[in-house]
Amino acid sequence: MAVTTNDLRNGMTLDLPEGLFGVVEFQHVKPGKGGAFVRTKLKNVRTGAVIERTFRADERVEQAIVEKHDMQYLYRDGTDYVFMDTVSYDQIHVSPSVLGQAVHYLTEGSVAVLQLYGQEIVGVDLPAAVELTVAQTEPGVQGDRVSGARKPATLETGLVVQVPLFVNPGERVKVDTRSGEYITRA
């Protein structure tokens, strides 16, 4: 669907010759001389690379329709992750390379929002924080309460985070999915 650069909004996805790009920032500029133009900051949906690009005002660009589907992660099938659409109950197999860093926060039964462009998965939206079980860490020692001291802990998904000294194996912790940092015990 073609739109003009005057209709650009943050979060809109564009299908440019260079690939799929999400609009991060845009600014309409009307100089004293010459025609107006639109200065944009675009993020490549597939690679995450950010570029800056300038368009003429009223230039037509192709808008990509990206659908968001709530999908529940069911299980691993070989290396693939199997998701089920929570509305249609259709199941799809997704490779770990498509999911990127999201694989560190997925547990069986958890729900993620998959962004689909046609049949291609172009992004994964996770909740801001998830609860995961500590699979392995050094046991906490009684009285070892040094303020701010941390130790590495391997979580059930294989993610390694720095946790306070009092966290023990088998405990559930809350982890920020944007930064990958420990928040609190669950």
**Residue 35 token pair:** 């025609």
In angstroms, what CA-CA distances link 131 with 7, 32, 45, 63, 174? 40, 55, 27, 36, 4
My answer on whether 49 and 6 are in the same domain is: yes
Is residue 42 predicted with pLDDT exceeding 80? yes
Say which CATH number the domain at 76 has. 2.40.50.140
| 56, 96: one domain | no
| Number of domains forming the structure of the chain | 3
Q: What percent of the chain has pLDDT over 90?
A: 6
What region does 138 belong to: left with phi over 0, alpha with psi -120 to 50, or beta?
beta
**Three-class secondary structure of residue 103 per DSSP:** helix
The whole-number pLDDT of residue 52 equals 92
Is the per-residue pLDDT at 142 higher than 80? no
Alpha helices per DSSP H over 60-144:
96-99
Q: Quick one: 55 and 32 in the same domain? A: yes
**pLDDT one-digit tens code per residue, 83-123:** 998 888 888 888 888 888 888 888 888 888 988 888 888 88
Last residue of a domain, one of 62, 88, 108: 62
pLDDT digits (tens, 9 = 90+) for 59-89: 888 888 888 888 999 998 888 889 998 888 8
Q: Could you read off the pLDDT of 44-55 as tens digits, one per residue?
A: 887 778 999 998
Instruction: Give me Rg for the CA atoms of the chain.
Output: 22
Question: Do 58 and 74 sit in the same domain of this protein?
Answer: no
Contact 123, 45 (CB under 8 A): yes
CA–CA separation, 174 and 32 (whole Å): 53
Q: How confident is the model at residue 144 (pLDDT cuts 50, 70, 90)?
A: low
- Same-domain check for residues 119 and 147: no
Give this prediction's pTM.
Answer: 0.72
> Last residue of some domain: 125, 143, 159?
125
Place of tokens 């368009």: 55
Average per-residue pLDDT in the chain?
A: 86
Domain limits at 51? 2-62
